[in-house]
Chain A
């Protein structure tokens, strides 16, 4: 056996401190070790973008990164988008309303890429949108519904950072600035808002 290294990551607000083989890719760790199977593997060579997750707020191809490289990071996956009562995030709602998905396999990657874009710039221009969406492949939709969905998501959010949609400003659940305890309750996504 190749041996393991211990890593500590926060995924959707839950902290995990576990051992992984150094060669384990981040996506295999997220899907296999953590059981968060909403992130999908489409090409394993960094082109299709289906496996896109946020690592410290940046959209990355989790098939091209090793789990050990994510040590100490905060990771957000598609499972981190919905609200505490299972409400769809406005970005997800926009994709649903605009028929921005068919088989849905590439969709988590598009959602995360859109989430990052709208975090950086709540009112991206056409070039920015095309550049971000141009990094993701979809074989079903011809991108038309996805393009409409992004416009709709921008409208729905109305400038609100995607991370602040659920829980932000809720006096009952103040943001926990120090989510250190292993297995800590979800803290919301405020850290990269």
Chain B
């Protein structure tokens, strides 16, 4: 049976939808606000033990020996694991580029500060931490390598000696006639940029409770897990278990943004459990662990980029050379952040040719992992700075320069040089909306007047494309499997006609349970509060990947609508049998099944469901009596990557324009954002409240990345940002109120026309803030080329430009 999923709200069997597209208050909130939601650290199981992890104090050292005898003898200590257990039970992790990765706890050698060396399970966390102090580790310190350029040199210390190099991958991608574009360009603009490590820092760290039965080998994993099924597959691969022996029960969690990490915490807790006879073992990562050795760090990048522009101000080529410092051994999917820019390499522009020289390099730092946006945010920061450099050099207004280069609305679906296809867009309309909202002309007048008074002020306009609906085809270039990503939902009615939806993902903050309720309530014309959404374990749930890569809103809407369609079709068949007519005659409208125009030939949902369950003898022969249907949605028409990595991968392309005005205090280098306005287009807005909330959160994270946040290491590979007093997450004082306008260009490819929207702002905000900062610096003749543009960095630039400081711009190698 073909399922036709409604592509717009007016195709729903409900003339007056009450919820989809409306500002719906979230159904998740009452339980969260009263402290009732069970987060992982709230879980208490009978006979549960608590784990603590001993971590390496060295960035690079050989482990000569570990003595755990004293710890094991302590009262309350039930299990201790070391690399010897990892060697026995684990395979090398599959989250690294081929030939890289390791086991956990470390075997023989540590490669970053904070790498687990041993772990203890005891009857309390306090006792477990006491026991760590009794473990003796004899290290032979080795010379670390912290700088990726040093790591690429002959004779550098090797993070993994067996590989003979620290270069995990070096590939050069060429899309279109890029060399020709640069040779024939009227203008070429070149610049270097440094994006320092930032990361997710959800307010809840990672945590897990694992039970690994030593007899049956069944592994049950609870935890603050973003993608339960994916985590389960990963653990099965790591432990060499059949996938159906691993059951994951993800808890609601306190944010993730891709940076929850967790795989290695689960591995440790699971091994401790197996050693403790299968007793549940809880491990809650503390914040220092998260900051120094968790899933926290992403995007440690050194860029050289160049832009070719013709005589008419059209961009004709874009080349990027990226040295991406992935840290030690490449674990944790850091490599995919370097691959994702292929999905939107040339942004919203008609640049016909591009090149990408990509080196993934190992150093003795924490392996970098995913973070919201998964790689493009730094890429767009680079592209947008170059666009401004070009516009400034050519004397064209930056907004106008962008307008000239936009992909026009009639060109969609549009295939970009790096292979992905954008579904739809109205880029000029978005630009106009943003400029109008910002009062762009007035802003420029304000800027010019303030400059005349000697103030350092600037206005930035930046734009980016947000690839939506995560797809593994985008990551073939770094060796990951080319597959689609399923999301399923089961919709059912019980004997009284109450609706329940079963899904496979946990609450994370994006209001997806509300979204599921909105869709079912509008499809069957129910009250939203009557729809129950429940989450099942991975072995019971419909196939699910969960949130990630701006996918879940689109994917779950497709899944739920598909299930509704299937269920409605089933119920129509039942009603047709009862009314002795054909299913095509029966219509679902406003929650009633029946023959249109015949008031006496109508049945309520409860009547149909009740009949199916209680009187299956009345159903057509062979009819499945369950008033229930499951649908598994995958993105249609995706393609595997060719030899240049070109694939149709992410299904949707949202777009935004942000306008930012800043003032920099020349005496302190402090940036104040005095205006923030934006317009964006993420297709149909299924719940505008949630979309705006995602944008607000992304702006705050983007401001953090642009101005404040940085993981700092010293020359020995010691992390210097091990607390929230060092790693500076924006507070309310650093995040301005923003004005927002919405443009709606529905996606032709998705349920109801929605596009992925969870990562939009972080694609655009760092670029926009840096554009504004650089506009402010332009009259001084200097450029901020390094994020975060901290007060110190900006003060040095400004002071250097004014000739009263010894040091000027930081170079690309600088770590701090």
Contact = CB atoms under 8 A, between A and B. Distances in A.
A82 B255 contact: no
Given A96-B30, A130-B732, A139-B701, A104 B37 contact: yes
Interface in B495-512: 507-511
Contact of A102 (B255, B724, B735): B255
B386 interface: no
Contact of A82 (B34, B286, B508, B729): B34
B815 interface: no
Interface stretch (A34-42, A115-123, A154-162, A181-189): A34-42
A99 B693 contact: yes
Contact of A42 (B203, B701, B733): B203
Contacts of A47: 723-725
A146 B731 CA distance: 12
B89 interface: no
A36 B701 CA distance: 31
Interface string A30-70: 01000111111111110110100000000000000000000
A48 B733 contact: no
Given A99-B693, A103-B254, A105-B202, A137 B731 contact: yes
A35 B30 CA distance: 19
Interface in B723-745: 723-725, 729, 731-733, 735, 737-738
Given A133-B732, A141-B693, A88 B30 contact: yes
B295 to A, nearest CB: 14
B28 interface: yes
B35 A139 contact: no
B441 interface: no
B486 to A, nearest CB: 24
B29 to A, nearest CB: 4
A95 B204 CA distance: 19
16 contacts: A21-B126, A23-B126, A41-B284, A42-B203, A77-B35, A88-B30, A97-B25, A102-B255, A103-B202, A105-B254, A139-B200, A140-B202, A140-B255, A142-B697, A142-B701, A143-B700
Interface magnitude class on chain A: 35 or more
Interface in B88-145: 126
A144 B203 contact: no
Interface string A92-128: 1001110101111111100100000000000000000
Given A81-B34, A107-B33, A108-B35, A143 B735 contact: yes
Contacts of B252: 103-104
Contacts of B44: 35
Contacts of B39: 37, 40, 105
A1 B732 CA distance: 44
Interface string A9-40: 00000000000010110000001000111111
Contacts of B233: none
B34 A139 contact: no
B128 to A, nearest CB: 13
B34 A88 contact: yes
Contacts of B288: 44-45
Contacts of A38: 34-36
Contacts of A41: 41, 284
Contacts of B724: 43, 45, 47-48, 137
Pairs of residues from A and B, 3 with the lowest C-beta to C-beta distance, nearest first: A38-B35, A105-B254, A104-B32
B9 to A, nearest CB: 21
Interface centre among B26, B32, B37, B41 (most CB of A within 10 A): B32
Nearest to A78: B35
Interface in B225-263: 252-255, 257
Given A142-B699, A142-B735, A48 B33 contact: no
B287 interface: yes
Given A102-B510, A139-B701, A45 B30 contact: no
Interface residues of B, number: 59
Given A45-B724, A141-B693, A40 B25 contact: no
B714 interface: no
A190 interface: no
Contacts of B38: 37
A167 interface: no
Contacts of B689: 99
A33 B288 CA distance: 24
Contact of A105 (B204, B287, B732): B204
Contact of A145 (B35, B287, B696): B696
Contacts of A141: 693, 696-697, 700
Nearest to A132: B732
B375 interface: no
Contact of A79 (B35, B201, B690): B35
Given A96-B25, A139-B701, A103 B33 contact: no
Interface of A: 1, 21, 23-24, 31, 35-45, 47-48, 50, 77-79, 81-82, 86, 88, 92, 95-97, 99, 101-108, 111, 130, 133-147
Given A1-B75, A142-B695, 15 more contacts: A24-B126, A37-B41, A38-B36, A45-B288, A50-B203, A77-B35, A103-B253, A104-B28, A105-B39, A105-B204, A134-B731, A139-B697, A140-B202, A142-B698, A146-B732
B42 interface: yes
A143 B732 contact: yes
- Most chain A beta carbons < 10 A, residue from B25, B36, B75: B36
Contacts of B732: 130, 133-134, 143, 146-147
A78 B34 contact: yes
B717 to A, nearest CB: 23
Nearest to B508: A103
A77 to B, nearest CB: 7
A134 B34 CA distance: 22
Nearest to B256: A103
A38 B511 CA distance: 20
B23 to A, nearest CB: 9
Interface string B693-713: 101111111000000000000
B698 A102 contact: no
Nearest to A86: B34
Nearest to A23: B126
B622 to A, nearest CB: 46
A47 B724 CA distance: 6
Given A21-B126, A48-B203, A103-B255, A140 B697 contact: yes
A88 B696 CA distance: 25
A81 B35 CA distance: 10
B733 A142 contact: no
A45 B287 contact: yes
A138 B28 CA distance: 18
Contacts of B284: 41
Contacts of B29: 95-96, 101, 104
Contacts of B42: 31, 37
A144 B735 CA distance: 8
B287 A42 contact: yes
Interface string B1-36: 000000000000000000000000110111011111
A40 B204 CA distance: 8
A103 B35 contact: no
Contact of A139 (B75, B203, B737): B203
Tell me which of A35, A142, A144 has the highest count of chain B C-beta atoms within 10 A of its own C-beta: A142
Given A21-B126, A130-B733, A139-B257, A105 B203 contact: yes
Contacts of A23: 126
A92 B34 contact: yes
Given A99-B26, A103-B255, A142-B700, A111 B33 contact: yes
Nearest to A111: B33
A193 B617 CA distance: 65
B220 to A, nearest CB: 21
Nearest to A102: B509
A43 B721 CA distance: 13
Contact of B696 (A81, A136, A144): A144
Interface hub of A1, A47, A144 (most chain B Cβ within 10 A) = A144
A39 B697 contact: no
